[in-house]
Structure 1
C-alpha cells in the first residue's frame, strides 16, 4: 500500500515533504510543552532554577518585573521570574503548535483531495481502455463502488490518517528520547506495557483488515443491487415486485452489516484493552515515582532494574506523567487509525486490481502508418472466436467478403453469432483464429482510433448521455458546426422533432435519454452516425424495439445514412431486406447461405423457411424495402419532461 501511495503522490511529494517538516516542528513543540511545568514545580517545591542556558536571558528579564521577593535560598532567580518565563514559553509553544497544525492539516487536505481526484480520473480513464471481454465479467455496481467509495477511503487515509500516524510516531520517538535522558531506569519501567500493547495492535489489525475487505466487497454488491433495481423500476412496479426487490436488497445489506459489525466489535474490544494497559502503566509510574520523589529509602530495585533514591523530583515525576500521556496517546489512537488503514488497504487492493488490467493492444500505433479514411471493403477470413477460452467457439470458421459501398444483411436465429461478428470489426474483441480485414489489412494492424474512426454503429437500443441534444450529436464529430449538426439531423428525420422541443438543440437529456421516445433516440443516434461520416456502417437491429410508425421514420433515416457506405445490417425482420445487395445466413457460427433476397427465397433453404415462419400468421404477407417509406412523415408525438 505504501508503494502504491508513493507512486500516486507523484507531483505532490514536495507538499508531502513540507507537511512532514511541519509535523516535525509541531511534534517538537508538543514534546517540550511539558518542561515549563517541570520548571515551575522544581522552583516552587525544590527551589531549583531551570538548567537551560538558552532560557537565562528570558528569566533574567522577567526577574526585573518581580515585586521584590527573592526565593528562600541564596541567589538564583525569583519565583516570579521563573513562573513568568515558563508561562511565556508555554504560550509560545502552544501558538506554534496551533499554527503548525493548521498549516499541516490544510496541506494534508489539499494533497488528499488532489490524490483522490487524480486517482479517480485515472481509474475511470483506464476502465474505458480495458478490453470489453473484461467488462463483460464485471458488475456495474461493483465497479462504481471502486471508482467512488474505495477511492474516497484512500483519500481519507491521506487526509486524516497519515498526518495523525506520522505525528504520533514522531511524538512517540521524541518523548521516548527525552524520557531516556531524564531517567533511563524510570523510562524502562514505564515501558514494560509496550510489548503486550504492540502484540494486541498486531492481532487486532489483522482481524480488522480481514473484516474491512469483506465490508468493501459487500458494499459493491449493495451498490450493484441498488443500481439494478432503480434502473428497472418500471418492471418492478409493473410486476408488483417491490417486496421481492426489497428482500433481495435487504439480503445484500445484511451481508455488508455482518462484517462491519465484526470490525466494529474488534475496535470496541481494542480500545478498552489499551486503556487497561495504559492505566496499569500510569499506576506504576505514580506509585513508584512518588515513593522515590518523597525520599523514602535509598533506592528502588525491581529484578534487574535499580532506581537510586533522590533521582526523581516532583517536577520530574510530573513530566513523566505528562509524557506518559503523550507516549501512550498515539497508541490509543491506533484503535481509530487501525480501522482507517485497514479500510484503505482493502480499497487500494480493489483499485489496483483495475489498474493492473491490461489495456487494449494497439500494435499498429508503433508500426505502419494508416490512411485517415478507409474505402470500406470488409472481409472475414477463417474467423474462429469465443468469449471464453476453453468454451465452444461462437464463430466457427467464418468466411465472408463485403465489397466497398455494398449492403450486406446478416440474418439467423438468436445466438447464431451475428452480433458477435460485427463486434469483431471495431475490435471490441479479437478473433482466436483467422483475421478480419478492412481494405485488405488486418484490423489489428490499424491504430484503434483510426479503425474505430472509420466505423459508425447504430445499435438496437441506442444510448443518449446526460447533457444536451447538441452534446449527444457532437459525439459523432466533436467540433462540428451548427450547420453540419442540423444537416445531419434533417437527414435523420429528427430536425423538426428537435426544434419542437422547449430548448431545441439545447434541450437537456436526462439519464439514458428517458425523456425521449425510443424512435427519437434511434433517430438521434442515426444523426450522430451521419455526422461521423464513416465509410463503414454497422446496424444492429436498429428497429427491433420500435412500433410501426417509429420504424418507418427510422428506416427512412437509415436509408439516408447508408448512402455511399459499406453497410452490414443485422435484422430479424426479413421482409425489410429486399433493398440489400446480399444476405448472409448465419447458423451455429457458420455461414450456411449467401445470396440476394430473391435468390435465397427461391432456393427454399434456411432463409426461405425463416421467411415462411414470419409470414405464417400474417393476413397478407408483404415485402418491404427502405425506399417504400420515402413519403412517410415524421413521428408526431414529442415527449418532454
Structure 2
C-alpha cells in the first residue's frame, strides 16, 4: 500500500539519529518482552494458588517468593525502559524535526523561479508547517507506542505457540482478523482521502490569496463573494472528508468491541480445551492477558494508522517539494566566478521553456565593462528572459553567456548571483526593519556604510523621518512605505552589495514624475562604473544608454545609440514616435472658450 512506502521514507529520515534510534529499539524490545512475560507469570501465580491445597507450606512460600520477586524485578525494568523511551524519543523527534524543516526551507528557497511561479505561497507554507509537525508526530508515535506493538505482533506473538499452540492459533487468528479489517478500510478510503486533501490545500491557498489581497477585496466590494467562495470550498472539504470519516468510525467501533470479543473467545476456547485436558487454568489466564495486551496495542496502532493514512497526501506533497530538482543544477566542478571588469557576452543564445515555443533565438551582443546597455521592445519580446538567463534562473537552450570570459554554467550560482545586482520594478522588501532589508545587500555592513549608501540613493532623509529611523519595520512587502521610498531602499541595497554588473528591471516605470526624478538621480549614482543593463518600456529613460538593443520576437532586431536608431527610421523610431507623440484632440470635444461664449 502507498502509505507503507511513505511511512518507510519517514523513518528513513532518522538515519542521522541511528544511535538514539538503536537505544530506543532496545528499550522497546525490553518493554515488549516484559509485557509478554507478565501474563505468563500471572498465569503461573494462578496455577500455584489453585494447587496451594496440595503443596507443602514451605514449597508454596518459596514458589510465591520467587514468582513475586521476578515480577517485581521485571516491573522495575519496565519502568526504567519506559523512562528511557519517554526521554529519548521526545528529544530525538524534536532534533529531527528541526533538522528536516531546515533542510526543506533551504531546498525550497534554492528552487528556481519556475517552481515558485507555479506553486502558491500559501500552499507551500502549509506543506512546510504541517509536514514538519506530521513528521514529528509520526516519529514520536512510532518509538513511544508502535514499535512495541510491531515487536509484540511479529516476534512475541509466535512465541505463544510454545506455551499452548491451540490457544496461540486462536489468538493469532483474532489478530489477523483485526488487522485484515483495518487493511480493508485503508484500501477502501485511500483514494478518497487523497481527493479530500486536495480540497484542504485549496482552502488554505484561497484563504492566503484573499487575505494577502484584502485591500483589493474591500475596494471592489468582494467581501461577500470571497466568503461564499470560501464556504463552497469548505463544503467540498466536508463532502469528500465525511465518507472517509464514516469508514474510520466503523473501524473505531470494531476496535472497541475487539477486546471483548477476544477475551470471550479465549475463555470459550480455553474452557473447551481445559475440559479435554489440553490447557491448564494458568494457560487460559496467560492467554487472556496476551489477548488484552495485544488488542489494546492494536487499538492504538489502528488510530496511529488512521492518522498516518490521513496525512499521506500532505507527506506526498512534502516529499514532492524535497524531490523537486533545480532547472539550473550546479556542476560538480563549478568554481567561483573570478569577477573582473564586468564584460558580458551573449553568444548565439537561444532559449525555450520545457515543451514550449522558442522565446529567444540567436541573441548576440557584448556589453563592455562600465557601459549601459538598454533592452527595449514590446512585452513578451524576450528582454526579461535574456536577463533571467544572465542570472541563471534558466540556462540557454543554445549558445552561451560569459562574464569576463567565464561561462556562467561553469561557475557557482552563489558567486554568479553575488556579482549581479538587481533593482526590480516592484521593490521586494521583507517584513523586517529598514536596516535588516538593507543588510541583505551586505550582511556585515557598518552603520557608516549603510548611511553612505542611503545618502547616495537619496533615502537617508526619509528614513530619519520614520518613527524608529533605520529600525522602523516596513510591513509586509514594504506596505508602510511609498513606491518611491521602496525603490530608493532597493537602490541603497544594491549599492551596499556593490556588484560589478547591474540589472535595472523597469526600475522607474511605476513612479510619478517628481519621485522618478529622485530615483533617477539615485540610479545614476548606482550605475557609476558598473556594467548596467536597463530593461525599459519608457523609452525616454534610455536616451543616455551606450547601446540600445531592440528585441522583437526573441531576436535583436536593431542596435545602436538613441539618436542613431531614431535616424534610421526603423522599429525603434516607430516605438519612440508612438510613445512621445502628443495625443490627438478628439473632434467632437468643444473647446472651453466656445462653451463660455455660448
Question: TM-score scaled by structure 1?
Answer: 0.83
Q: Distance in 1 between matches of 2:392 and 2:83?
A: 53
Structure 1 counterpart of 2:180: 199
SS in 1 for 2:161: helix
Is the CA contact 2:328–2:395 (under 8 Å) kept in the aligned structure 1? no
Q: Give structure 2 stretches of 5+ with no counterpart.
A: 1-5, 586-598
Structure 2 counterpart of 1:214: 195
- Residues 195 and 30 of structure 1: is their aligned pair in 2 closer, same or farther, counting only changes over 3 Å? closer
Structure 2 counterpart of 1:332: 299
Say if 2:576 is the partner of 1:611: yes
Say if 2:399 is the partner of 1:399: no
SS in 2 for 1:376: coil
Is the CA contact 1:175–1:323 (under 8 Å) kept in the aligned structure 2? no
Displacement, 1:362?
5.6
Is the CA contact 1:28–1:174 (under 8 Å) kept in the aligned structure 2? no
Q: Distance in 1 between matches of 2:532 and 2:557?
A: 20
Say if 2:467 is the partner of 1:502: yes
Q: Distance in 1 between matches of 2:168 and 2:334?
A: 69
Say if 2:76 is the partner of 1:111: no
420-429 or 326-335, which deviates more: 326-335
Q: Distance in 2 between matches of 1:499 and 1:518?
A: 17
- Residues 607 and 264 of structure 1: is their aligned pair in 2 closer, same or farther, counting only changes over 3 Å? same
SS in 1 for 2:16: coil
Q: Distance in 2 between matches of 1:585 and 1:178?
A: 82
Say if 2:103 is the partner of 1:132: no
Structure 2 counterpart of 1:569: 534
Q: Distance in 2 between matches of 1:75 and 1:449?
A: 84
* Superposition map of 1:33-48 within 5 A: 33-35=38-40, 37-47=42-52
Displacement, 1:273?
3.2
SS in 2 for 1:192: helix
SS in 2 for 1:435: strand
Is the CA contact 2:27–2:81 (under 8 Å) kept in the aligned structure 1? yes
SS in 1 for 2:137: helix
Say if 2:280 is the partner of 1:312: yes
Structure 2 counterpart of 1:149: 130
Q: Distance in 2 between matches of 1:542 and 1:365?
A: 36
Structure 1 counterpart of 2:218: 237
Structure 2 counterpart of 1:580: 545
Displacement, 1:175?
5.3
Is the CA contact 1:193–1:278 (under 8 Å) kept in the aligned structure 2? no
**Cα RMSD for the two superposed structures:** 2.8
Structure 1 counterpart of 2:382: 417
The structure 1 residue matched to 2:484, chosen from 507, 519, 522, is 519
The structure 1 residue matched to 2:349, chosen from 383, 388, 391, is 383
SS in 2 for 1:34: helix
Displacement, 1:382?
2.3
Structure 1 counterpart of 2:594: none
Q: Distance in 1 between matches of 2:290 and 2:335?
A: 70
- Residues 334 and 74 of structure 1: is their aligned pair in 2 closer, same or farther, counting only changes over 3 Å? closer
Structure 1 counterpart of 2:252: 271
Q: Distance in 2 between matches of 1:343 and 1:577?
A: 57
Is the CA contact 2:167–2:269 (under 8 Å) kept in the aligned structure 1? no
SS in 2 for 1:509: coil
Is the CA contact 2:344–2:402 (under 8 Å) kept in the aligned structure 1? yes
Say if 2:247 is the partner of 1:282: no
Q: Distance in 2 between matches of 1:567 and 1:537?
A: 5
Structure 1 counterpart of 2:595: none
- Residues 161 and 573 of structure 1: is their aligned pair in 2 closer, same or farther, counting only changes over 3 Å? same
Q: Distance in 2 between matches of 1:560 and 1:134?
A: 35
Is the CA contact 1:395–1:588 (under 8 Å) kept in the aligned structure 2? yes
331-340 or 278-287, which deviates more: 278-287
Say if 2:11 is the partner of 1:30: no
The structure 1 residue matched to 2:22, chosen from 17, 25, 40, is 17
- Residues 381 and 73 of structure 1: is their aligned pair in 2 closer, same or farther, counting only changes over 3 Å? closer
Q: Distance in 2 between matches of 1:428 and 1:205?
A: 43
Displacement, 1:178?
5.6
1:11-53: CA deviations, max 9, x gaps? 2111111111111222233223334543443344331xxxxxx
Structure 2 counterpart of 1:354: 321
Structure having the higher helix fraction is: 2
The structure 2 residue matched to 1:546, chosen from 511, 523, 544, is 511
Q: Distance in 1 between matches of 2:37 and 2:71?
A: 9
Is the CA contact 2:33–2:156 (under 8 Å) kept in the aligned structure 1? no
Number of aligned residue pairs: give it: 580
Displacement, 1:277?
5.3
140-149 or 270-279, which deviates more: 270-279
SS in 1 for 2:428: coil
Q: Distance in 2 between matches of 1:290 and 1:350?
A: 53
Q: Give structure 1 stretches of 5+ with no counterpart.
A: 48-70, 300-307, 621-641
* Larger Cα-atom Rg: 1
Q: Distance in 1 between matches of 2:28 and 2:175?
A: 24
Is the CA contact 1:157–1:344 (under 8 Å) kept in the aligned structure 2? no
Q: Distance in 2 between matches of 1:459 and 1:73?
A: 94
Structure 2 counterpart of 1:444: 409
10-19 or 20-29, which deviates more: 20-29
1:283-303: CA deviations, max 9, x gaps? 23223434555xx5xx2xxxx
- Residues 369 and 128 of structure 1: is their aligned pair in 2 closer, same or farther, counting only changes over 3 Å? closer
Is the CA contact 1:180–1:187 (under 8 Å) kept in the aligned structure 2? yes
Question: TM-score scaled by structure 2?
Answer: 0.89
Q: Distance in 1 between matches of 2:313 and 2:207?
A: 22
Displacement, 1:491?
0.5
1:203-240: CA deviations, max 9, x gaps? 22333443443344333322221221111111111001
Structure 2 counterpart of 1:426: 391
